[in-house]
Each structure stands twice: as C-alpha cells, then as structure tokens.
C-alpha cells in the first residue's frame, strides 16, 4: 500500500491522465486548449500509466533496498520523458515515417521505451507472460530464418525498436487504443461501485433473493459473483472479494469445501463473460470487429445466461440429492430494505446500459453513470445518515481506479508487442491461411484446433493477451471458413477463459481452494465438471449463431429454448437428480446426457430425438430405481418457528 509523497504523486499523475481522457472523449479542449494528435494522446496516456506502474508495483525493497527505490523513480521518469518526447514529435513520427527511419536520438529513446514496457509487463503480468511477449518482441530479428508459414522479413535492432515504439501497430496499437478510447471510463465506474459499497449490496441482494432456497448459499455465490464479475471483469479479484463470504457460508450449510470452492471459481470465471462490462476483452473485441460495443454485449447475453443457469441447476440438484436446505429467513436480509439501501447501485447500472444500448455513447456512458452513482450515493448517505460519501472515500476511489488502469496498461502495452511483431512480419496472416488449408472444408476441425490453441495459450497468458493473439491468427481463418465473426471471436474468448477452471493451471480454482482450505487440484477437476457446459457452448454458438442472437427471431427463440432444456438435462445428468422425478440411476443419467447433447444441436430432428431420450430416461429410472420417485428436499428453507 502506498503512503505519503509516493501516493500523492501517483494520485496526481493518475488524475492528470483521467482528465486527459475526459478532455479527449468529451472534446472539451479545456486541459490543453487544443485537440491532441492521436499518437501524442496515446503516448502520453501510456507514459503516465507506465510511470505509475513502477510505483504501484515496486521492486522488492527487502532485496534491493535504496537502490530499488531509486531505480523505480528513474524508471518512472524515463517513462514520462520518453512519452513526452514522442508526443511532442507526434506529427514528425507520422509525416517522416520514423517507424522506418528515425533520428539517432529517437532510436535510443525507442529502445529505452521498449525495455520499460517489458519491465512494466513483468511487474503486472508475471514472468510467463513476459517470456511470451519477449519472444514475439524479438521475433522480427530472426523471422527470415523460420520455416514455412513462420517465415517473415527480418530487421536489425534499431529497426526492431523503431517499429515497436514508433509504429502504430505495436505498443500504441489496438490494445492501447481500446484503453484510451473506451476502457478507462468503465474501470473508473467499476472502482466507484466497489468503493461505494456495491459489492456488499449485490451480496445482500442475492441473499435476499435466493438465500432461503434449497442450497441457497451456493446460489447466492453464483448470483453475487455474476453481478460483481460482470462489472469488475477480474476473475481473481472476484474470488477474493465475494469468495471470502460465500465459501464459508456454503460450507456451513453442508457443501463440502471442495464443492464450495469449485462453485465460486466457476461463478467468478463466468463473471468476466457476463454483460454489461465483461472486462477489457469485450472492448478489444469490438475494436477488432469494428462494431459497437453494445453489439458484442448483446451477443454475449445468452451464452453467459446459459452458463449461469447450468451452475444454478447443478447446485440445486446437488442440494436436493444431499438434502441441503437453505438459510433461515431470520438470518437473511429482507429484500425491500435491501433495495431501499442500495437502489442507487441499480439506478447507475440502468443508466449505464441505457446510454450504451439506446444512446450509443459507449465511451462517455461510464462517466455519466459514475457521476449518477456518486451523486445518488451522496444523497442516499445523507438521507440515511450513514455510509456517507466523504472526501477520503473519493480519494480511495481515485486510488483504486488508477491502480486498475495502470495494471491494464502495463499488460496491454506489452501485449501490443505481439500484435506488432505478427503484423510487421506478416506471420499472423500466413498462419490463418495455413490453418484454413489444413482444415480444408471441415469447420469443426478448424474450431477444434482453435479451441486447443486457445486453451493452451490461456494457461500462460492473461485472457486479454490470449484473445488478442488468437484474434490475429485465428480470427481471419474463422471468418474465411464462413463463421459468424462475433460468434467466432466469442469462441476464442470462452476457450481462453476455460484455463481458469481447468487443471493443471486452474488459477480460479486454486485461489478459491485457498479460501475453502481444500485441495487445489481436486477443486480444479470438480470446477471443470461444473463448468462443463462452457466446453460445449462455444462450438454450438460458433456453428449456429442464433445463440449469440444472430439470425431470424423465430429461429433464435427455438434454439435458445432447446438450449435451456439441454442445460437442464445436462445439470441433472451431472448431479444425478432430475426435477419432478428425483434421484437418478446411472442408466438414466447416461440417457439424459445423450438427450442434452442432441437438444443443444440445432434442428427439429435433433430436438425430437432429445425429447424421446428424455422420456426413455424417465421410464428407465422409474423401472430400475424405486427411490427415484422420492419427493425432493423442500426448495425453500422453513422458518425457525
């Protein structure tokens, strides 16, 4: 935690960057007095937040001592100085083609800037991501010695640093342009929700809605993590924030530690796929596809809803089979008082969604929503006489937002090196052509290859880095194969996210296991089973884009309905309990699994086969398992009275 002068400097720098962003997006021209050139604007934002990274993520002073503190200050000054130099010469960089031929001093500063970006990436993204991005950073040096589709034109070291630092496709390429154009406002809004108590409200709201139901704490965990994750976009912070409350409560009502951790891991992972915010990736996707962010947001609604429906049904079936009741009403918050206390959080969300979808002002919407949230929070605190919005809390809001933005900039500026290397060498396009030729006319084979690649890269990269890399090398191939572009890019995103709940990495599962005090690997295996629908859904909506709301209304309605039924049967087969039937034997579970697969495949014939298999499964279960007709555990917990 930063204190004293260092924190003050970070807050001042961050505030300048935020004002620069607002000045740009709202075209006020109040901060500088004129409109900055695009490249100058991107350099200034990048340089300011890189300087903040070196203060927020310092060298370990217990090892480096005073030398480490001095180094951090020097790195920050170099980042600011380099960015200011590039911003001042922004017009010359464009007009004179400095990415190809630049003055000697510009080449030296470019080299320094590239090294600073790599060091910032190490501090924010970790060593594995640094190694991956470092390899691609150097790739143009030896591209002409690579075989087949990996071949590309090579360059020397001066040419390398010029193309990365001074070109428009690398450090200040698409990832940083998304941060500068869209993402900062949404990160600010997310921080405002956290600092004003939005996390506690959504937890209480979920408890009031679902706490009494059968296995209620697990459903509270799913709903609250979905709410919180859709706004924060961060899987691990979601687990740390909501999991501290939900996991112990699940254990208290009878869920094993491993199951409680797996539920929280899946729910938090899905939060980054849930509209309206969805984390940084959705904004990058909209930029890559050249569509409005609202288009991506709307397309993601049904797949995310199906994923959370599957989790809800599985936990309900598990609770019914194990006899787990919900919490007592007197132990839960009341719905109406909860809404009276937190109405302003819901209002700010409504404002945000309205401005995005109805008004189409995506870049400005989160700033307006943040103002509404802060104003209504102040009003609500004044009316209730508690939890008031003080100056200290506003400073905490600024601090939290600046840290989050700096973290994203540190990662995405480094990931831009991958984009630049693949763009300048042409390897990205060559890879797509090779992949199309390899798959031939078999679209499923292309998707299978893409899924495996996404999954493997998702183990070592952040979701943003994984998506950006695969959008370059796989996105064109999917479009060339005739797949719907939005469905294809969502396919990449979903498979990149699966590494969070799948061993051997399973970062979300291991993080939740620490809180639950369970075995991390066993938790990961269980989380993979609970999130099994996410292994199937991407193939379905990639092959049939009605599930991402692309197509005729009647087709969309039919396919979404059959998918909901398939998810219900998949949950029943997984947990061994079918609503209105009861406990299931092994033969019935196998038949229900087959019915789910046929139902989720688009087409009336497959639906008919699925319904027939459902009927056979119920009949077989009644004939082979008399206890399968038992009444289920009450779905609402009784009062203590």
Angle, helix 104-125 to helix 127-142, in steps of 10 degrees = 150
Whose tokens are 């102040």? That residue is 378
Give the tens place of pLDDT for each residue, 345-375: 999 989 998 998 888 888 899 999 999 999 9
CA 560, CA 556: separation in Å to the nearest integer?
Answer: 6
Residue 504: other Cβ atoms inside 10 A: 8
Whether the bond into 504 is cis, omega within 30 of 0: yes
* Residue 149: pLDDT over 50: yes
Give the tens place of pLDDT for each residue, 225-246: 888 777 766 787 788 878 888 8
CA 533, CA 574: separation in Å to the nearest integer?
Answer: 11
Percentage of residues of the chain with pLDDT beyond 90: 42
Give how far Cα 114 sits from Cα of 94, 139, 164, 415, Å: 19, 14, 7, 12
Mean pLDDT calculated for residue range 149-165: 91
Give the tens place of pLDDT for each residue, 409-426: 999 999 899 889 988 888
Give the tens place of pLDDT for each residue, 527-554: 998 888 888 888 888 888 899 998 899 9
Non-local CB neighbours of 554 within 8 Å, separated by 6+ positions: none
CA 605, CA 591: separation in Å to the nearest integer?
Answer: 17
* Residue 86: pLDDT over 80: yes
Non-local CB neighbours of 296 within 8 Å, separated by 6+ positions: 278, 282, 285, 286, 289, 486
* Residue 629: pLDDT over 50: no
Q: Please check whether residue 129 is in contact with residue 460, taking contact to mean a CB–CB distance below 8 angstroms.
A: yes
Q: 79-93, 107-121, 125-139: which range is least confident on average?
A: 125-139
């Amino acid at each position: 935690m930063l204190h004293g002068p260092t924190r003050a400097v970070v807050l001042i720098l961050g505030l300048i960057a935020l004002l620069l962003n607002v000045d740009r997006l709202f075209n006020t021209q109040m901060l500088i007095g004129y409109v900055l050139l695009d490249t100058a604007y991107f350099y200034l934002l990048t340089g300011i937040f890189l300087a903040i990274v070196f203060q927020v993520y310092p060298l370990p002073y217990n090892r480096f001592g005073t030398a480490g503190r001095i180094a951090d200050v020097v790195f920050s000054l170099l980042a600011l100085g380099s960015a200011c130099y590039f911003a001042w010469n922004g017009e010359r960089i464009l007009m004179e083609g400095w990415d190809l031929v630049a003055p000697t001093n510009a080449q030296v500063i470019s080299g320094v800037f590239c090294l600073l970006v790599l060091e910032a990436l190490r501090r924010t993204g970790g060593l594995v991501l640094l190694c991956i991005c470092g390899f691609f950073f150097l790739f143009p040096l030896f591209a002409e010695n690579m075989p087949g589709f990996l071949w590309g034109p090579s360059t020397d070291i001066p040419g390398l640093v010029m193309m990365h630092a001074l070109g428009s496709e690398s450090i200040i390429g698409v990832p940083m342009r998304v941060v500068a154009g869209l993402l900062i406002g949404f990160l600010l809004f997310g921080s405002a929700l956290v600092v004003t108590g939005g996390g506690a409200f959504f937890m209480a709201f979920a408890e009031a809605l679902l706490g009494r139901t059968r296995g209620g704490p697990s459903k509270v965990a799913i709903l609250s993590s979905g709410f919180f994750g859709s706004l924060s976009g961060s899987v691990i912070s979601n687990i740390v924030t909501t999991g501290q409350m939900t996991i112990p409560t699940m254990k208290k009502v009878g869920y094993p530690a491993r199951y409680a951790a797996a539920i929280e891991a899946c729910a938090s992972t899905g939060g980054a796929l849930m509209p309206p915010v969805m984390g940084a990736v959705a904004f990058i996707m909209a930029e890559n596809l050249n569509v409005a962010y609202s288009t991506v947001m709307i397309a993601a609604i049904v797949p995310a809803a199906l994923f959370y429906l599957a989790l809800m049904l599985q936990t309900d079936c598990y609770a019914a089979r194990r006899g787990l009741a919900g919490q007592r009403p007197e132990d839960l918050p009341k719905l109406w008082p909860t809404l009276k206390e937190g109405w302003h959080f819901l209002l700010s969300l409504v404002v945000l969604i309205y401005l995005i979808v109805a008004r189409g002002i995506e870049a400005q919407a989160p700033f307006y929503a943040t103002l509404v949230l802060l104003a209504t929070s102040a009003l609500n605190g004044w009316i209730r006489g508690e939890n008031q919005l003080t100056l200290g809390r506003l400073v905490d809001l600024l601090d939290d937002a600046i840290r989050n933005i700096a973290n994203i900039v540190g990662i995405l500026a480094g990931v831009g090196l991958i984009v630049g290397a693949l763009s300048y060498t042409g390897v990205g396009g060559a890879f797509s052509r090779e992949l199309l030729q390899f798959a031939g006319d078999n679209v499923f084979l292309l998707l299978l290859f893409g899924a495996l690649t996404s999954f493997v890269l998702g183990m070592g990269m952040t979701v943003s880095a994984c998506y950006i890399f695969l959008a370059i090398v796989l996105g064109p191939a999917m479009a060339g194969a005739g797949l719907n572009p939005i469905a294809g890019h969502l396919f990449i995103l979903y498979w990149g996210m699966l590494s969070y709940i799948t061993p051997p990495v399973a970062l979300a599962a291991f993080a939740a296991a620490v809180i639950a005090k369970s075995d991390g690997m066993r938790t990961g295996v269980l989380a993979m089973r609970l999130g099994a629908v996410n292994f199937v859904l991407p193939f379905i909506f990639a092959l049939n884009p009605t599930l991402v709301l692309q197509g005729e209304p009647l087709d969309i309605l039919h396919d979404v309905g059959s998918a909901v039924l398939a998810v219900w049967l998949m949950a029943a087969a997984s947990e061994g309990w079918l609503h209105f039937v009861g406990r299931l034997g092994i033969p019935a579970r196998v038949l229900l699994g087959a019915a789910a697969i046929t139902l989720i495949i688009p087409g009336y014939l497959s639906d008919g086969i699925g319904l027939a298999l459902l009927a056979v499964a119920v009949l077989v279960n009644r004939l082979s398992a008399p206890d399968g007709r038992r009444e289920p555990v009450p779905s609402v917990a009784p009062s203590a009275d």
